[in-house]
């Protein structure tokens, strides 16, 4: 099997000009299917949100409060070293109140009042599951389809497969925010948006809430835009002399990269400058959206990136690792994310962008129904739980107002329609018109895929 | 397909009329299109038909033969691959990929017509002696390399390029051999050198430079996945730089490659291994180590071994053995069982799957640098001398002690107060003292008289059950020590097997040695070291607590009974001292006991007390001196750098086939061995890592030398003779010059694996010395330049981009080795990923060290290095990646590293470059580009300088801001607007394509 990209390259018969922002790449790539989405916004909830306290309502748990989780449910499933030696597994029902919302009647807890108002636009998958039980391998698995470092991330696969639709911005942008729930929570790693064995021009570019949203974006103090412009003209002229000398297309390519860098110097600040957004925008996304670097501000930027055709926009919000003190911590996390996530959906919808933008909200695994550490009337913790968790998706060809999959009364095992991480990846690629078995890259003698040797498109959640 | 895209294009045009080469043309088709179902992997083979072996491909199946030699029309293979795509006959089936194209079908047809000859995969055939082929243009040939290259060029009717200019050649070879460009003076000397062999003299000079070792080490660090952090989750610091320095030293001393290999894989198993040979084995401890709380240790113990096998296979054998972890290799002859036979060589060290979150994980050794070794020796000598001085006083001292015993005043008590943190009783409220953490050594001693079986004795921990901190408690009448960050998964708990009696006084003591293991804890009862029961042995993070020290209280309990004589020491006391501490009798009481009936501990206490307080001044001071010097030595030894190493368990650990590669599914047990497709291990040799390492470098091994020379080759030509340097298997790319590869491999082995000689052979060739300009014809017919009709032209590696700016600016601080350094990096990059500590940028010289010394955090690699395609150091990487991105442009223009370097170059232009602007610009250009300016360039630079000067003269404040960048002090003598203008010009130079390109 030959990757589409390899095929295109050889068909064109040209040595590829290496660029980060090649707008032509997307145009050149012929999709396998008619795409229902042009871009993806992935709101990654790092640390693993508790499905039991947010979306997977289990009223029967109240009767089981503090009783040991039956062995028939646990089925000898492997536990993390954090609770493996625990002598009892007391069932901890959620402290939060659930209600049904919208026409779809989706259950959502009172931690998510804004999300509950947009449920008819969302597709909940309650039957997500993963193979990994610890953060590093699990989040690496979610991002790259493999639990160990070294493979390309979803965004870099897409940048490689589809290229960019924008000549002034990267195809793959990443933004990070710190949750208020758990300040010392799980770290992230650059490899989560790395390109693995794909050429490094496909790696995610981090947009930061700093003076330089992109590293080294600003000219040094004392150099203004006009000076830089003349500098680049000279650079181009000098490189052209060498071009004549060496006949090497890489020289012209380098000059053009400098021109793109120059365009980024204006396009990125224009993008991150929220001063022209009307007050209604900030009302929609919430007051936190005025504070750079928050999840809310990043959601607003995500919409602006989507408007500009950036292919893959990924937010990482840290702080969801509630081993102890869950009720207090998760309130902070929900406050950070609820309004802005719902606002993004509404905002994309009102701008007509939701139809071709896929939005995904979710973490790397779920959390246990039993309490880690002491269960009291108003406190508990939850350990990692790979067997089920809930995510939601919307836009870009996803059925709205749908609830897919089901778990048992303990939110422990999946009882219907399991969806694993490879399936999710296959489905994301499918919405973009890509066959996950055909998007390959040959490395170390193997044609690698994002979905490794697995993955099934979850057609049930797709409208097309 | 990618294979056919360019270089293969040439091959195809000339091959049309020739004999089909099985290995070059047929095996790749079988491998890529058929092996998945008809290849080496038994589990996925759909029928007995297989195309990886001759018997398998030519056997009778039903009424047919897939291949009938000489008769393509009767060969089922041809029928199948030409069947219509909607037919069930069609191979490969539509689900497995598109049909074979015409060219492929034609090749197969011709190959069968020509008799369907078969060969072993080329890289598994031993290296045979090859002689250089004849060429027409004999005069061009400088070394046999050139004959191989030229013969191929002549065959394909491509002409070679002329020799590069002297400036270009010197710049090229300086980068290639040392990673650093030449200075203008070196350029001048070379250009003017009228001696017979000026180029050879340069090559010899560069090979002898210590920079050579640094340059060669850079790529080896990529291959060996070297980094300064542990790589998982918290990604805290580790210390492997002593291994890195070993690599630099090995290249500089021209260690033969066979020794280089053996010492890194099995230096510890050599007879009487030296410290250096042990340090060398750090190679296979550079893999990442997982210290995340809650992992299943067995899972990661497997991953570490897998990493060693995969890295070792890639680096030395050029084989993707890792593919056989979960199933038989789909393309190469490595069965899953054989994978685990290799695995068995590397699973036998005393390590745990849960690595330490912070620092190095066992097995590790102290690895003093040569100067520290000298200092340590000097300290040892001082210890010996001090002991000797004290021993010399001994006869007198013993007599003195015996005399003093007779007159000890009644009631004289003594306990050692060396390293004493404090002494308390039950009523004390000691407060914020004895704050110890997981890397500290300490001792807690007390006398207890319990009235009940449970209760806290000494704690510095949260006052709740299983509270975080350290504690010594009585639990069911056993003495228990706890070191807890988070109960159960981040804690050590040990307790005595035997109970202590109720209602009587017992002396207890707990010592901890800072090792983070239960084995580092001792509990003594009445001075006797106790047998312990280990309840939990998983200490990962620091247990240091903010709670006060509590006596007879803590963990939510109170001691029932009496506690007295609490003494805490900031050292882990040896048994002898604990013994003395447990003696409660006063000194006069002991002396009243006849010497023959005193216990050893009593006698010890008496003697130590006398030496400490009552002996004559000169005896006391000699005693204290010997203790002081010993302690100094201990402190020095404890602070020495360590390095993780390989170490063999005495009793070999079993290895099993892991089904689907999973630690949870062990299958059949396997013994150590090498794959059957390769030469066997020597009969009778012990099956261990050392034998394996020696087998690798046995000249009979068909892969090791080929893989090594190919990796060196790609440093000089951008691409290896085998482009897939990591894969010499059937999915790897066919060598562009197979005979040349074998010639180089043969020479390498014959030379005694002489690494420097190999580099010299390559760079002395006419092939290497060509200009890098592509002719129009070459650009069209061989755009990847696989035939080397001209020299390679490619972007410098990240390290060299930065190092050359530092050199040109005069900032480069050259010093071999040492701990990794933290040069400029935008603030916040570490913190925003973890919420934890941020990068702490160094200052002074450490900002300007060569880039191979830059601190490599795996979770957040140095951004400049990442922008310029440096390998990620998560896993082995033997091929360089080169891209061309706007982020590189932003970095080179705006990163303070390059802005400061530009300003320093500007200062040099103004102070060393001459009087006129033109001279100064020319001087700066030579600093950066190692050549003179041409007219067109001079005019452009002159203009650039002029308008920048005008602008900065109008806006002096802007000029002042620009020249203030960087930590190095600006030359205050120089006119600021002028300096700013030259700074901009220098930056322009550093940003030119030529500056970042080796051409």
Question: Do the Cβ atoms of A445 and B724 come within 8 Å?
Answer: yes
Residue B257 has pLDDT above 80, yes or no: yes
Spell out which residues of chain B touch residue A6, defining contact as CB-CB under 8 Å: 1-2
Question: Do the Cβ atoms of A185 and B835 come within 8 Å?
Answer: yes
Distance of alpha carbon B150 from alpha carbon B135, whole angstroms: 7
> What's the pLDDT tens digit per position in B829-846?
999 998 888 999 999 999
- Considering only alpha carbons, which residue of chain A is nearest residue B4? A10
Distance of alpha carbon B404 from alpha carbon B496, whole angstroms: 39
Question: Do the Cβ atoms of B833 and A6 come within 8 Å?
Answer: no
Distance from CA of B964 to the nearest CA of A (A): 9
pLDDT score for A278? 97
Boundaries of every domain in chain A: 4-217+281-461
Distance from CA of B776 to the nearest CA of A (A): 8
Distance from CA of A229 to the nearest CA of B (A): 12
Name the least confident of A166-170, B190-194, B437-441, B516-520.
Answer: A166-170
Question: Choosing among A200, A297, A371, which should be mutated to test the B contact, i.e. which has the most B CBs within 10 A?
Answer: A200
Q: Do the Cβ atoms of B474 and B480 come closer than 8 Å?
A: yes
| Residue B819: other Cβ atoms inside 10 A | 15
pLDDT score for A105? 96
Strands (E), B64-184: 64-65
Of B890, B962, B988, the CB nearest to A221: B962
> What's the pLDDT tens digit per position in B366-382?
999 999 999 999 999 99
Task: Name which residue leads in pLDDT, B293 or B235.
Answer: B235
pLDDT score for B180? 97
Question: Do the Cβ atoms of B881 and A19 come within 8 Å?
Answer: no
Could you say which residues from 654 to 713 on chain B have a Cβ atom under 8 Å away from some Cβ of chain A? Answer: 664
Chain A to chain B Cβ contacts (< 8 Å): 285
pLDDT score for A69? 92
Q: In Å, how far from its chain's centre is CA A24?
A: 25
Beta bridge partners of B491: B484, B538
Question: Do the Cβ atoms of A216 and B826 come within 8 Å?
Answer: yes
Question: Do the Cβ atoms of A245 and B773 come within 8 Å?
Answer: yes
Spell out which residues of chain A touch residue B97, defining contact as CB-CB under 8 Å: 1-2
Question: Do the Cβ atoms of B895 and A216 come within 8 Å?
Answer: yes
Question: Do the Cβ atoms of A136 and B731 come within 8 Å?
Answer: no
pLDDT score for B45? 82
Start-to-end CA span in chain A (Å): 27
CATH of domain A4-217+281-461: 3.40.720
Of A201, A258, A445, the CB nearest to B331: A445
Asked if B41 is an interface residue toward chain A (Cβ–Cβ < 8 A), one would say no
Confidence of residue B888 (pLDDT cuts 50, 70, 90): very high
Q: What are the tokens at A57?
A: 């309502």
Question: Do the Cβ atoms of A238 and B538 come within 8 Å?
Answer: no
Does the bond joining B354 to the residue before it have cis omega, within 30 degrees of 0?
Answer: no
Spell out which residues of chain A touch residue B775, defining contact as CB-CB under 8 Å: 247
Distance from CA of B937 to the nearest CA of A (A): 6
Spell out which residues of chain A touch residue B724, defining contact as CB-CB under 8 Å: 444-445
Question: To the nearest whole number, what is the mean pLDDT of chain B?
Answer: 94
Question: Pairing mode, if any, of strands A419-420 and A123-129?
Answer: parallel
Residue B466 has pLDDT above 50, yes or no: yes
pLDDT score for B12? 42
Spell out which residues of chain A touch residue B858, defining contact as CB-CB under 8 Å: 149, 189, 191
Could you say which residues from 224 to 283 on chain B have a Cβ atom under 8 Å away from some Cβ of chain A? Answer: 231-235
Could you say which residues from 430 to 449 on chain B have a Cβ atom under 8 Å away from some Cβ of chain A? Answer: none
Asked if A4 is an interface residue toward chain B (Cβ–Cβ < 8 A), one would say no
Rounded to an integer, the average pLDDT of B286-315 is: 95
| Residue B94: other Cβ atoms inside 10 A | 12
Question: Do the Cβ atoms of B889 and A260 come within 8 Å?
Answer: yes
Of B793, B947, B992, the CB nearest to A239: B992
Question: Do the Cβ atoms of B294 and A81 come within 8 Å?
Answer: yes
Spell out which residues of chain A touch residue B951, defining contact as CB-CB under 8 Å: 227
- Domains belonging to chain B, first-starting first, are 2-119 (no CATH), 225-366+652-701 (no CATH), 414-573 (2.60.120.200), 793-999 (no CATH)
Asked if A240 is an interface residue toward chain B (Cβ–Cβ < 8 A), one would say no
Spell out which residues of chain B touch residue A188, defining contact as CB-CB under 8 Å: 833-834, 859
Confidence of residue B315 (pLDDT cuts 50, 70, 90): very high
Question: Do the Cβ atoms of B887 and A222 come within 8 Å?
Answer: no
Asked if B295 is an interface residue toward chain A (Cβ–Cβ < 8 A), one would say yes
Complex-level ipTM: 0.90
pLDDT score for A30? 58
Spell out which residues of chain B touch residue A237, defining contact as CB-CB under 8 Å: 940
Does the bond joining B534 to the residue before it have cis omega, within 30 degrees of 0?
Answer: no
Strands (E), B394-468: 420-424, 442-450, 455-461
pLDDT tens, residue order, chain A (464 aa) = 344 444 443 333 232 323 333 333 333 355 678 999 999 999 999 999 999 999 999 999 999 999 999 988 988 877 777 777 677 899 999 999 999 999 999 999 999 999 999 999 999 999 999 999 999 999 999 999 999 888 999 999 999 999 888 888 999 999 999 998 877 668 899 999 999 989 888 999 999 998 899 999 999 999 999 999 999 999 999 999 998 888 888 999 999 999 999 999 999 999 999 999 999 999 999 999 999 999 999 999 999 999 999 999 999 999 999 998 999 999 999 999 999 999 999 999 999 999 999 999 999 999 999 998 889 999 999 999 999 999 999 999 999 999 999 999 999 999 999 999 999 999 999 999 999 999 999 888 888 999 998 999 999 999 96
- Considering only alpha carbons, which residue of chain B is nearest residue A170? B886
Spell out which residues of chain A touch residue B294, defining contact as CB-CB under 8 Å: 80-83, 133-134, 383-384
Three-class HEC string of B385-415: HHHHHHHHCHHHHHHHHHHHHCCCCCCCCCC
Q: What are the tokens at A356?
A: 């071709």
Could you say which residues from 120 to 149 on chain A have a Cβ atom under 8 Å away from some Cβ of chain B? Answer: 133-136, 148-149
Asked if A16 is an interface residue toward chain B (Cβ–Cβ < 8 A), one would say no
pLDDT score for B494? 97
Long-range contacts of B8-16 (CB under 8 A, 24+ apart): B9/B781, B10/B156, B10/B781, B10/B782, B10/B787, B12/B103, B14/B155, B14/B156
Question: Do the Cβ atoms of B859 and A191 come within 8 Å?
Answer: yes
Asked if B958 is an interface residue toward chain A (Cβ–Cβ < 8 A), one would say yes
Distance of alpha carbon B751 from alpha carbon B757, whole angstroms: 8
Q: What are the tokens at B694?
A: 């020696």
Q: Do the Cβ atoms of A170 and A23 come closer than 8 Å?
A: no
Question: Do the Cβ atoms of B993 and A223 come within 8 Å?
Answer: no
Distance of alpha carbon B318 from alpha carbon B308, whole angstroms: 14
Asked if B417 is an interface residue toward chain A (Cβ–Cβ < 8 A), one would say no
Of A134, A184, A200, the CB nearest to B292: A134
Q: What are the tokens at B800?
A: 């060299």
Using DSSP's 3-state secondary structure scheme, residue B791 falls into coil
**DSSP notation for B223-255:** HTT--SB-BSTT--B---HHHHHHHHHHHHTT-
Asked if B885 is an interface residue toward chain A (Cβ–Cβ < 8 A), one would say yes
Pick the closest to residue B858 from A192, A314, A315 (CA basis).
A192
pLDDT score for A464? 64
Distance from CA of B232 to the nearest CA of A (A): 6
Could you say which residues from 322 to 381 on chain A have a Cβ atom under 8 Å away from some Cβ of chain B? Answer: none
Asked if A10 is an interface residue toward chain B (Cβ–Cβ < 8 A), one would say yes
pLDDT score for B93? 85
Question: Do the Cβ atoms of B832 and A205 come within 8 Å?
Answer: no
Question: Choosing among A81, A144, A186, A233, which should be mutated to test the B contact, i.e. which has the most B CBs within 10 A?
Answer: A81
Question: Do the Cβ atoms of B294 and A82 come within 8 Å?
Answer: yes
Of B231, B947, B959, the CB nearest to A230: B947
């Amino acid at each position: 099997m030959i990757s589409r990209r390899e095929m295109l390259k050889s068909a064109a018969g040209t040595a590829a000009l290496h660029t980060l922002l090649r707008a032509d790449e997307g145009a050149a790539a012929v999709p396998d299917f008619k795409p229902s989405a042009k871009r993806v916004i992935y709101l990654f909830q790092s640390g693993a949100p508790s499905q039991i306290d947010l979306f997977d309502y289990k009223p029967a748990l109240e009767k089981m409060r503090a009783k040991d989780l039956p062995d028939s449910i646990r089925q000898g499933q492997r536990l993390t070293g954090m609770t493996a030696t625990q002598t009892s597994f007391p069932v901890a029902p959620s402290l939060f109140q659930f209600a049904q919302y919208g026409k779809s009647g989706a259950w959502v807890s009172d931690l998510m009042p804004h999300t509950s108002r947009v449920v008819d636009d969302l597709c909940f998958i309650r039957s997500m599951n993963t193979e990994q039980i610890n953060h590093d391998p699990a989040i690496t698995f979610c991002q790259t389809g493999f639990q160990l470092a070294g493979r390309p991330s979803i965004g870099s696969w897409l940048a490689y497969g589809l290229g960019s639709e924008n000549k002034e911005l990267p195809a793959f942008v990443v933004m990070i925010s710190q949750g208020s729930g758990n300040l010392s929570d799980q770290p992230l790693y650059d490899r989560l948006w790395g390109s693995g064995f794909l050429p490094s021009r496909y790696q995610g570019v981090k947009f930061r809430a700093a003076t330089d949203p992109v590293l080294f974006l600003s000219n040094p103090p004392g150099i203004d835009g006009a000076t830089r412009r003349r500098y680049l003209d000279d650079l181009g002229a000098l490189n052209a002399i060498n071009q004549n000398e060496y006949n090497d297309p890489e020289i012209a390519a380098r000059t053009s990269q400098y021109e793109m860098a120059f365009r980024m110097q204006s396009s990125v600040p224009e993008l991150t400058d929220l001063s022209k957004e009307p007050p209604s925008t900030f009302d929609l996304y919430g007051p936190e959206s005025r504070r750079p670097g928050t999840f809310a501000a990043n959601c607003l930027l995500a919409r602006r990136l989507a408007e500009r055709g950036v292919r893959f926009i990924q937010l990482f919000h840290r702080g969801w690792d509630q081993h102890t003190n869950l009720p207090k911590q998760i309130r902070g996390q929900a406050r950070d994310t609820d309004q802005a996530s719902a606002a993004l959906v509404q905002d994309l919808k009102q701008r007509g962008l939701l139809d071709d933008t896929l939005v995904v909200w979710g973490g790397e695994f779920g959390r246990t129904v039993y309490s880690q550490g002491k269960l009291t009337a108003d406190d508990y913790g939850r350990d990692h739980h790979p067997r089920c968790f809930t995510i939601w998706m919307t836009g870009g060809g996803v059925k709205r107002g749908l609830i897919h999959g089901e778990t048992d009364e303990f939110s422990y095992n999946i009882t219907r329609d399991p969806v694993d991480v490879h399936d999710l990846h296959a489905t994301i690629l499918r919405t973009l018109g890509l066959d996950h078995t055909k998007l390959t890259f040959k490395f170390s003698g193997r044609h690698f895929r994002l979905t490794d040797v697995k993955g099934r498109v979850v057609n049930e959640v797709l409208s097309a | 397909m990618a294979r056919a895209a360019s270089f293969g294009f040439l091959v195809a045009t000339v091959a049309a009329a020739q004999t089909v080469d099985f290995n070059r043309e047929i095996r790749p088709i079988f491998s890529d299109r058929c092996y998945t179902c008809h290849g080496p992997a038994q589990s996925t083979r759909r029928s007995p038909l297989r195309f990886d072996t001759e018997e398998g491909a030519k056997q009778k199946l039903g009424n047919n033969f897939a291949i009938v030699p000489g008769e393509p029309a009767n060969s089922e293979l041809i029928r199948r691959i030409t069947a219509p795509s909607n037919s069930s006959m069609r191979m490969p089936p539509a689900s497995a990929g598109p049909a074979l194209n015409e060219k492929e079908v034609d090749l197969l047809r011709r190959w069968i017509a020509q008799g369907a000859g078969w060969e072993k995969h080329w890289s598994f055939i031993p290296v045979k002696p090859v002689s250089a082929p004849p060429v027409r243009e004999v005069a061009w040939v400088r070394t046999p390399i050139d004959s191989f290259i030229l013969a191929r060029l002549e065959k394909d009717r491509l002409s070679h390029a002329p020799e590069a200019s002297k400036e270009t050649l010197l710049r090229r070879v300086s980068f290639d051999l040392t990673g650093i460009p030449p200075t203008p003076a070196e350029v001048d000397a070379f250009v003017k050198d009228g001696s017979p062999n000026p180029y050879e003299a340069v090559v010899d000079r560069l090979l002898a430079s210590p920079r050579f070792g640094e340059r060669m080490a850079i790529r080896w660090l990529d291959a060996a996945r070297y980094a300064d952090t542990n790589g998982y989750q918290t990604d805290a610091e580790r210390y492997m730089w002593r291994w890195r320095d070993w690599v630099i030293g090995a290249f500089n001393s021209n260690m033969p490659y066979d020794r280089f290999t053996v010492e890194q894989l099995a230096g510890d198993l050599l007879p009487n291994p030296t410290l250096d040979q042990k340090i060398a084995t750090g190679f296979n401890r550079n893999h990442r180590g997982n210290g995340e709380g809650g992992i299943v240790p067995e899972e990661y113990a497997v991953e570490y071994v897998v990493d060693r096998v995969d890295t070792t296979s890639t680096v030395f054998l050029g084989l993707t053995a890792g593919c056989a972890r979960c199933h038989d290799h789909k393309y190469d002859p490595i069965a899953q069982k054989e994978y685990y036979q290799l695995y068995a060589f590397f699973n036998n060290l005393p390590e745990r799957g849960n690595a330490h979150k912070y620092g190095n994980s066992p097995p590790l050794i102290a690895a003093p640098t040569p100067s520290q070794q000298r200092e340590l020796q000097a300290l040892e000598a001082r210890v010996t001398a001090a002991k000797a001085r004290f021993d010399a006083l001994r006869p007198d001292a013993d007599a003195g002690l015996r005399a003093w015993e007779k007159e000890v005043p009644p009631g004289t008590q003594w306990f050692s107060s060396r390293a004493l943190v404090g002494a308390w009783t039950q009523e004390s409220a000691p407060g914020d003292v004895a704050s110890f953490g997981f890397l500290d050594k300490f001792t807690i001693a007390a006398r207890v008289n319990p009235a009940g079986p449970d209760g806290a004795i000494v704690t510095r921990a949260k006052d709740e059950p299983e509270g975080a901190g350290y504690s010594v408690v009585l639990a069911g009448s056993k003495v228990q020590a706890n070191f807890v960050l988070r109960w159960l998964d981040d804690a050590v708990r040990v307790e005595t097997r035997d109970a202590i009696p109720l209602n009587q006084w017992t002396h207890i003591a707990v010592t901890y040695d800072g090792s983070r293991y239960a084995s580092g804890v001792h509990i003594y009862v009445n001075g006797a070291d106790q047998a312990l029961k280990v309840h939990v042995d998983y200490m990962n993070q620091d247990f240091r607590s903010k709670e006060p020290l509590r006596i007879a209280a803590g963990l939510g309990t109170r001691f029932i009974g009496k506690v007295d004589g609490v003494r805490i020491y900031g050292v882990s006391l040896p048994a002898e001292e604990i013994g003395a501490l447990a003696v409660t009798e006063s000194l006069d009481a002991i002396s009243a006991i006849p010497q023959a009936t005193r216990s050893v501990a009593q006698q010890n206490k008496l003697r130590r007390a006398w030496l400490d307080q009552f002996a004559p001044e000169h005896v006391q001071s000699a005693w204290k001196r010997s203790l002081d010097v010993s302690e100094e030595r201990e402190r020095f030894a404890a602070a020495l750098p360590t390095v993780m190493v390989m170490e063999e368990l005495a009793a070999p650990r079993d290895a099993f086939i892991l089904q689907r590669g999973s630690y949870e599914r062990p299958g059949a047990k396997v013994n150590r061995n090498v794959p059957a497709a390769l030469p066997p291990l020597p009969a009778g040799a012990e099956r261990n890592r050392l034998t394996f390492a020696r087998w690798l470098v046995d000249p009979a091994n068909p892969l090791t030398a080929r893989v090594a020379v190919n990796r060196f080759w790609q440093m000089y030509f951008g691409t290896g003779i085998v482009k897939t340097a990591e894969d010499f298997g059937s999915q790897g790319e066919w060598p562009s010059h197979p005979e040349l590869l074998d010639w180089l491999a043969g020479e390498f082995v014959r030379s005694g694996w002489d690494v420097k000689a190999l580099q010299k052979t390559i760079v002395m060739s006419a092939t290497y010395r060509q200009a890098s300009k592509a002719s129009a014809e070459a650009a069209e017919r061989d755009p990847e330049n696989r035939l080397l009709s001209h020299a390679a032209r490619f972007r410098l590696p990240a390290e060299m981009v930065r190092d050359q700016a530092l050199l040109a600016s005069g900032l480069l601080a050259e010093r071999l080795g040492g701990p990794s350094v933290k040069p400029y990096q935008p603030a916040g990059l570490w913190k925003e990923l973890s919420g934890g500590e941020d990068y702490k940028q160094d200052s002074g010289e450490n900002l300007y060290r060569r880039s191979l010394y830059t601190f490599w955090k795996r979770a957040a690699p140095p951004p400049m290095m990442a922008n310029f395609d440096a390998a990620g150091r998560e896993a082995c990487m033997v091929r360089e990646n080169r891209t061309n991105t706007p982020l590189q442009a932003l970095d080179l223009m705006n990163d303070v590293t390059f802005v400061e370097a530009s300003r320093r170059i500007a200062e040099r232009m103004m102070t060393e470059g001459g009087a006129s602007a033109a001279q100064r610009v020319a001087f700066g250009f030579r600093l950066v580009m190692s050549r003179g300016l041409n007219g067109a360039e001079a005019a452009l630079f002159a203009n650039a300088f002029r308008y920048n000067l005008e602008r900065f003269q109008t806006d002096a404040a802007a000029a002042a801001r620009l020249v203030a960048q960087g930590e190095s002090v600006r030359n205050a003598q120089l006119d600021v607007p002028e300096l700013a203008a030259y700074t901009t010009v220098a930056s322009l130079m550093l940003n030119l394509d030529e500056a970042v390109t080796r051409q």
